[in-house]
Amino acid sequence: MAEEVRLVADIGGTNARFALCAGDGWPYAIHLERCADHATLEDAVSAYLARLPVRPRRAAIAAAVAVSGDRVRMTNRAWSFSVTALRARLGLEQLLVLNDFTALALAVPRLRPEELRQVGGGAPTGNAPIAVIGPGTGLGVSGLIPAGGGHWIPLQSEGGHVTFGAADERQVPILRELSRRYGHVSAERLLSGPGLVNLYRALAAIEGVPAERLTPPQVSARALAGTCPLCREALETFCALLGTVAGNLVLTLGARGGLYIGGGIVPRLFDYFVGSPFRASFERRGRFSAYLAAVPSYVILAEHPALLGASAAFDHAPDLIGAFAAADGD
């Protein structure tokens, strides 16, 4: 009997990544589609399927969205779809849709040592929860809860939308400036690609200087080159804020098993990130500073970890990963 080939996808606000997987679960035939090139998710999936010599019958899609039922509306992309209807239109026997950072969490136990780089802390505590966070187009948050026997329960979290709180005097006027602009200021308003630009613009307003119309890559490039002091401060503040939010997540979950950082920003800035204010802010926690100093943090350098996690989702009951599954007979 031929080995079953399944479709897996990682749908972010900017890019949609597709792959196939078989018995070992490792993605192959990986291809990227720009979300802006397609009016709907169905169009993007169909564009990938048209490239294939095979037609998968089962699929798992990890998307940057809170999955709570058949109707899915993405947070950072104007795509909305019915899981059941999409399964039928694509001719699939089963379609599983889960949050992209739930998928990233599922990938963590399967990552190879060379796909991780430790930044501070000691050794992880066995049989303890694990925290997962990552800024990209938005801010993804998840975690893993040990279930015994080497099994894990991943969390479906929208922790990127927790309320931002200033941790020092310099961050107070930043919060004030963004509150004036947005009303509610979430962590994602600062810890994401658009958030890096928000930081730059807020700092410019605080200093009373005009802000240029910069993209996130331009802010980070100028910061690393040392050609723009405001960009440099924006990137430093970005890393410090990530340390604060990540430390809060670790304390909330009791994640002595470690913190894993993914997303599209930090891995690309790894050399800078190691010496950034991230770890000092992560550990600066008063009476619990020693607790956090012992917790290791890792940057995920694997190229497509969410695809690996989407593949792992086939091995879990949908209700254990907060997923919605549509199948023949539904």
Report the 3 state secondary structure along the chain: CCCCCEEEEEECCCEEEEEEECCCCCCEEEEEEEHHHCCCHHHHHHHHHCCCCCCCCEEEEEECCCCCCCEEECCCCCCEEEHHHHHHHHCCCEEEEEEHHHHHHHHHHHCCHHHEEECCCCCCCCCCCEEEEEECCCEEEEEEEEEECCEEEECCCCHHHCECCCCCCCHHHHHHHHHHHHCCCEHHHCCCHHHHHHHHHHHHHHHCCCCCCCCHHHHHHHHHHCCCHHHHHHHHHHHHHHHHHHHHHHHHHCCCCCEEECCCCHHHHHHHHHCCCHHHHHHCCHHHHHHHHCCCEEEECCCCHHHHHHHHHHHCCHHHCCCEEEECCC
Backbone angles phi, psi at 47, to 5 degrees: -65, -40
pLDDT the model gives residue 320: 78
pLDDT higher than threshold 90 for residue 115: yes
The contacts of residue 81 (CB under 8 Å, 6+ apart) are: 40, 41, 42, 71, 72
> Domains, the chain, ranges and CATH?
6-105+305-327 (3.30.420.40), 112-301 (3.40.367.20)
189-215 pLDDT, tens digit per residue, is: 999 999 999 999 999 999 999 999 999
Confidence label for 68 from pLDDT (cuts 50, 70 and 90): confident
What is the mean pLDDT of the segment spanning 15-29?
91
The neighbour count for residue 4, using CB atoms within 10 Å, is: 12
pLDDT the model gives residue 160: 94
The overall average pLDDT reported for the chain is 93
What is the mean pLDDT of the segment spanning 207-225?
96
Q: Report d(CA 34, CA 77) in Å as an integer.
A: 11
pTM equals 0.93
What is the mean pLDDT of the segment spanning 71-92?
89
Q: Which two tokens stand for residue 108?
A: 């963590």
104-114 pLDDT, tens digit per residue, is: 999 999 999 99
Confidence label for 120 from pLDDT (cuts 50, 70 and 90): very high
Proportion of the chain above pLDDT 90, given as a percent: 79
Proportion of the chain above pLDDT 70, given as a percent: 99
Q: Report d(CA 299, CA 148) in Å as an integer.
A: 25
pLDDT the model gives residue 318: 86
pLDDT higher than threshold 70 for residue 329: no
Confidence label for 1 from pLDDT (cuts 50, 70 and 90): very low
pLDDT the model gives residue 330: 59
260-313 pLDDT, tens digit per residue, is: 999 999 999 999 999 999 999 999 999 999 999 999 999 999 999 999 999 999
Cα-based angle 294, 295, 297 (whole degrees, multiple of 5): 130
pLDDT higher than threshold 80 for residue 20: yes
